Structure 1
Amino acid sequence: MKRRVVLLIALTGLLVVLLAPPSVGGSTSYVITRGASMEPRFHTGDLAVVRAGGDYSVGDVVAYRSDLLNSVVMHRIVAVEDGRYTFQGDNNSWLDPEQPTATDLIGALVVRVPQGGTWLERVTGPVGLGVVAFALVAGGGTAAHTRHRRRARGAARHSISRPSRPSSTSHTTMPTLAAAPPWMRTAAAGTGVLGVLGLALGALAWTGPLTEPTVGQEPTGRTMTFSYTASVPPSAAYDGTTVTSPSPVFRTLADTVDVQLAYRGPSGQITVDAELSTAGGWRSTVPLTGPVDVADDQAELAVRLDLVALEARAQAAALATGMPADQVTVDVVASVQSGDLPAFAPALHLLLSDLQLRLVGDASALTVVDAAVVDRVAETPRSIAFGNVSISVATGRAVSGWLALGSLLVAAALIVALRRMSLPGEDAEIRNRYGSMIVVVQPMVTPAGRPVVDVPEFATLAKIAERYGLLVLHWTRSGVGTFVVQDEGTTYRYRASVDAPPRARGRGSTAAAAPDRGLALTATHGPPSHRSPDVGAVRPGLPHQG
């Protein structure tokens, strides 16, 4: 039996090691899916069990921490480059905007439990933890109540004056925890502590929501990348027939330039204009496109610059103002409106002269990142702090559920082991069965002139003690347990072996039944010099057992 219990405890420990979350030193995490990005394989409420690993490759379904969303995202890896992973949901047509590194990855998918997240939330919720607590209390209460009913039935049978018939059927009573081996008492105490910790942690984790609102600033995430091209005839000026940015465009070979714009960011509208200006202060705006809707967080546009028309407009202004226009600054401005976000107006700065159109600055000027920041109210995971250690509420709920469930399983195993355990010796069984009426004392000397009556079974002694409202005094010496009841003028005694197994008995009695002729009570009134040091007397012809 001990081997089974040890094996059960070992298996429970192995499961705890395999299923423990990182917050308690494990490497297994649990993700409850939300949304439709991984359909049809995953649905809202499914439970994904992921484990941290040293190598992740394209095609793996991996959970990672998203700084942009302040949550955990589980998508499939579609590319790995320079230590960064590109993710995409199976049901999404776009890539995830973030490219996390290995330190941001939580673990790869091990197993999917359909609707397991829904059931886990129920089990670790207030109702589920209440049911577990009730089961723990009810299990112990039922066992105690069963023992109480057995004891009551046994006491009722003992009070019948008619002697019981002899029987060879043995009766085993489940030992109390106090009489259990030290390892079992230690396991029971540890199980109780784990159960209480689980309930306490569950109470803390379920007294509030999973997340809490936090206010912070973050960039808008909008970028605009410019580029331009121009078609030219074959000549010694260029290696080919297409000029690309950031190379200058010579006017003798090209009169038009195509400008490309690639936008990434929240949806909205984009309007493109050409803003002309000269050193004398003249400014003019030439519309290039009307508002263009951006619906999928990215857009690509193209506009054409007519260099002849732009120069003619600048020269007409110079003629009107009398100020020369040797060079014209051409700024291609894209005005982006995205909901409540601040206006974003990236510009491509070009310089137009009689000879060429060139980029102002180097190639880095072709990409413009929105420097504005906005206040964001994000739902961040709530945490529970224990000194310098803190865990998330979601982890606390899961750990509390596992602690409560594990303590319940171990408690059930201990109860089974305790029920199958039998105490050695009749003396120990009597103390276990009638412990409420027995008082352990030091060996006592027989009072002078006091008669001693030996009873054939402990049930008779128990009946005498109950009838007179007395306690049973008990001590053990030389392998024999002595039980006595002292009335006003008589001492009633029963002796039981410490090592010998319980005697055969009938109908719940503890020793052999008395013969049909009545109770065999033997009284001895020898002088004090013939009595043993213990309470009682030496009966002639019988060995002394004191």
Structure 2
Amino acid sequence: MPLPRIARLSGAVAVLLAAVWLLLPTELGGSTTYVTTHGNSMEPDFRTGDLAILRPAATYGMGDVVAYDSAQLGTTVMHRIIDRDDHRFVTRGDNNSWIDPDEPTSDEILGELWFSIPQGGKALAAMRSPWVLAVVALAVTTLVSAGRRPRGRHSAGHAHRRPGLRLPRLHRRAASPAPRASGLSAPLRARARQLALGSAVAAVLAAGAGAATFVLPAAAASAGSVDVVQQGAYGYTATAAPSTTYPTGALGTGDPVYTRLVEDLTVSFEDVVTGADVAGTVRLDVAIEAPDGWTAPVTSGTAAPVQDGTATAAVLVDHVRAAQLLERHNAEVGAAGVSATLVLTPVVEMTATVDGAAATLDQPEPLRFSMDPTALRVAGETTALTPAVTTQLAVGGAAATSDLEIAGVTLPLGPVRLVAAAVLVLAVATAVVAGLLGRGRGGEADEFLVRHAARVLPVTSFAPGNTVIDVADAEALHRLAERLEVLVLHHAGPHADTFAVQDGDTTYRCVVPRVGEAHVAAARRSPAGGLLRRFA
């Protein structure tokens, strides 16, 4: 092998190995991650169906677009790093107003964005379909088989079967003695016509299948969901005259509230929402509950709007009015109890939105104070001051496609439509190209060669039998060859094509002129027309 050829081959192998090393997915032992984007969290840079290719980096920093497996969402998330919390990264979608609940470490990050292909994810999903793979395999197989020159499968067998067939000087024609137009041979054009016909049938079937899918509904309910988390925090403050009980004249969250000493008790509730875009308000309502089940409203605070996912509501608690309501109730019913519960209930009127799907948020747990003649104390555990509530928001319902079941296999309707369109385009293109390649060059002889290429054997010379019979047309000669199970011999002269079938000592002949009978006569008189003279 010459040195330049070795160098080119070595370079090609090196480039191939480098491409494999760079693009081999993690599922096959490589280090490249392929992510098909969904939703609008990374708009405008990424839209649903884009393909992102990511590779691991030595370090990650602010502004890097990275992907990681989210434990809360149960899927792969690709967002941008906006901050760092010790050894963990804080991420957020470019189009989101909230921070991701997961904080992945460097080891948990799958890779940093290398490059992206718009709508490449949809194309990749379509190419993974067994329908597309089957069509591609069929097209490749057909093209490869069409590229093979058909062998004279009848030549040797029929020569043994019919001992009367004498071909002492028969051999394949290495080059036609007559000037021929450049292009594909007749056998290849015959295969091209077969491919064009098969592709046309495939195009009709793909068009029918694609039209049938549009009869089905395009959307169905989606089972996907996102957790929208509300993290609440209660707090209260009050003022009092400096005393042994309250040396500084102030008290804060967690302290007992001695009603005889305290004035202006204010309770607040901060609600921080993550996982979605939120809009709405929150307020605090105050009520009194007696041990016998009686309850009555005391006061209500002003509604506070949500800003950047956070709303803080506050209310001034009138504990004197609450005690008066309890006293009147006990007097009316004849009860002697003096204890009760003061209940502060957050009224959350918020709507969360994720990828176009919306839901109303659930209500957090209220804060309860046990109330006796002397003081108010927080009831329950200290965790009562920090209630958390999670609302599951179903997403993707409007964009999720229906499923199509074929032979027990369930396929999403969207990719099926895409595959049908791809098959249609591929089949039409193949039919057009194959039809152009299979076009005849004009003339009866060329059309006969293309139509019956499998039974025609080109020759430069052969020995005819003692009896020569002229046949009216080439098709009649072909029917005779089929009946006798022999090949049709073809000799291309300068002015005419001669087809012959030998049956023992009898030769059946059909001469097809290219221009006119005058050329045939001239061919008989020319030195190159020796074959015709022997047929005469």
The two structures have a TM-score, normalised by structure 2, of 0.51
Instruction: Tell me what 2:184 maps to.
Output: 174
Instruction: Read off the aligned partner of 2:94 and give its amino acid letter.
Output: D
1:50 partnered with 2:52: yes
Matched with 1:422 is none
Q: Residues 358 and 466 of structure 1: is their aligned pair in 2 closer, same or farther, counting only changes over 3 Å? A: same
The amino acid of 1:48's aligned partner reads D
**What is the CA–CA distance in structure 2 between the aligned matches of 1:470 and 1:411, rounded to whole Å?**
31
Distance 2:26 2:417 in 1: 12
Query: 1:169/1:394 Cα in 2 relative to 1: closer, same or farther (>3 Å)?
Result: same
Checking the alignment, whether the CA contact within 8 Å between 1:49 and 1:110 is kept in structure 2 is: no
Between the aligned partners of 1:352 and 1:298, the Cα distance in structure 2 is 30
Aligned twin of 1:392:
412
1:260 to 257, 260, 268: 268
User: Quick one: which of 468, 480, 501 aligns to 1:485?
Assistant: 501
Amino acid corresponding to residue 369 of structure 2 in structure 1:
L
User: In the alignment, what sits opposite 2:347?
Assistant: 335
Question: Is 1:228 the counterpart of 2:228 in the alignment?
Answer: no
Please, what TM-score do these two structures have when normalized by structure 1? 0.50
Q: Distance in 2 between matches of 1:203 and 1:177?
A: 36
Paired with 1:49 and 1:281, the residues of 2 have a C-alpha distance of: 60
**Structure 1 residue 72: deviation in Å?**
9.7
SS of 1:333's partner is: strand
Distance 1:86 1:193 in 2: 55
Of 249, 272, 295, which residue of structure 1 is paired with 2:284?
A: 272
- Given that residues 465 and 485 in structure 1 are in contact (C-alpha distance below 8 angstroms), is that contact kept between their aligned partners in structure 2? no
**Amino acid across the alignment from 1:520:** G
In structure 2, the CA distance between the partners of 1:438 and 1:403, relative to structure 1 (3 Å rule), is: closer
Aligned partners of 2:297, 2:184: CA distance in 1, in Å? Answer: 97
Partners in 2 of 1:89 and 1:314 — Cα distance?
Answer: 52
Q: Partner of 1:302: helix, strand, or coil?
A: strand
Separation in structure 2 between the aligned mates of residue 203 and residue 194 of structure 1, nearest angstrom: 14
Provide the residue aligned with 1:300 in structure 2.
312
Question: Of residues 77, 80, 96 in structure 2, which corresponds to 1:76?
Answer: 80
CA distance in 1, matches of 2:225, 2:122: 37
Counterpart of 1:378 in structure 2 is: 397
Q: Does 1:212 align with 2:220?
A: yes
1:213 partner SS: coil
Is 1:451 equivalent to 2:466 in the alignment? yes
Aligned-pair CA distance for 1:289: 1.5
Per-residue deviation, 1:275: 1.3
Q: CA deviation at 1:252?
A: 7.7
Q: C-alpha deviations, 1:202-235, integer Å up to 9, x for none? A: 6676554553136999999666542334567999
In 2 relative to 1, CA 373–399 (structure 1 residues): closer, same or farther, beyond 3 Å?
closer
Distance 1:312 1:220, change over 3 A: same
Aligned with residue 363 of structure 1, among 356, 361, 382: 382
1:254–1:370 Cα change, 3 Å: same
Query: Which whole-Å CA distance do the structure 2 matches of 1:41 and 1:371 have between them?
Result: 30
CA offset at residue 261 of structure 1? 1.0
- Asked if the contact 1:219–1:372 (Cα under 8 Å) also holds between the matched residues in 2, the reply is yes
Shift of 1:276: 2.1
- SS of 2:473's equivalent? helix
**Cα contact 1:255–1:307 (8 A) shared by 2:** no
Corresponding position of 1:530:
none
Between the aligned partners of 2:286 and 2:220, the Cα distance in structure 1 is 46
CA distance in 2, matches of 1:317, 1:298: 38
Measured at CA, do residues 519 and 300 of structure 1 come closer, stay the same or move farther in structure 2, by a change above 3 Å? Answer: same
Could you tell me whether the CA contact under 8 Å between 2:448 and 2:474 is conserved in 1? no
Cα deviation, residue 348, structure 1? 0.8
Give the distance between the partners of 1:64 and 1:377, measured in 2 at CA. 21
Name the SS of the counterpart of 1:331 in structure 2.
strand
1:88 corresponds in structure 2 to: 92
Is structure 2 residue 470 aligned with structure 1 residue 470? no
Q: What's the offset of the Cα at 1:522?
A: 7.7
Q: Distance in 2 between matches of 1:179 and 1:21?
A: 45
Answer yes or no: is the 8 Å Cα contact 1:47–1:117 preserved in 2.
yes
Whether the aligned pair in 1 keeps the contact of 2:240 and 2:250 (CA below 8 Å) is yes
Q: Spell out, residue by residue over 1:113-142, the C-alpha distance to the aligned partner (whole angstroms, 9 max, x if none).
A: 67x589989x99xxxx9xx99xx9xxx9xx
State the Cα distance separating 1:360 from its structure 2 match: 0.7
SS of corresponding position for 1:520: helix
Q: Which residue of 2 aligns with 1:150?
A: none
Say if 1:195 and 1:404, in contact at 8 Å, map to a contact too.
Answer: yes
Pairs aligned (count): 422
* Percentage of matched positions with identical amino acids: 24
CA contact (8 A) 2:89 2:104 kept: yes
Letter in 2 for 1:392: P
Bigger Cα displacement from structure 2, 465-474 vs 349-358: 465-474
Change over 3 Å in CA distance of 1:175–1:81 after alignment to 2: farther
Which of 520, 531, 542 is the equivalent residue of 2:530? Answer: 520
| Structure-to-structure mapping, 1:416-455, within 5 angstroms | 435-436=452-453, 438=455, 451=466
Task: Report the CA distance shift for 1:282/1:119 in structure 2 as closer, same or farther (over 3 A).
Answer: closer
Tell me the alpha carbon deviations over residues 416-462 of structure 1, each in whole angstroms, 9 at most, x when there is no partner: 9x99xxxxxxxxx999768459468xxxxx99xx6267xxxxxxx9x
On the 8 A contact 1:271/1:334 being kept in 2, the answer is yes
Distance 1:245 1:488 in 2: 118
C-alpha deviation, 1:331, in angstroms: 0.9
Q: Which residue of 2 aligns with 1:352?
A: 371
Letter in 1 for 2:403: S
Label 1:469 to 1:273 Cα distance change in 2 as closer, same or farther (>3 A). closer
Amino acid at match of 1:174: L
Q: Is the 8 A contact 1:71 1:381 kept in 2?
A: no
* Comparing 391-400 and 283-292, the one that deviates more: 391-400
Maintained 8 Å contact 2:281/2:306: yes
1:109/1:437 Cα in 2 relative to 1: closer, same or farther (>3 Å)? closer
- Partner of 2:50: helix, strand, or coil? strand
Structure 1 residues 19 and 206: alpha-carbon distance in aligned structure 2, compared to 1, 3 A threshold: farther
- Take 2:254 and 2:44, find their aligned partners in 1: how far apart are those partners? 46
- Shift, 1:398, TM fit: 5.1
Measure, in 2, the Cα distance between the counterparts of 1:110 and 1:240: 60
SS at structure 1 position matched to 2:301? coil
Counterpart residue number, 1:532:
none
Q: CA deviation at 1:353?
A: 3.5
Q: 2:233–2:386: 8 Å Cα contact kept in structure 1?
A: yes
C-alpha distance in structure 2 between counterparts of 1:168 and 1:288, whole Å: 106
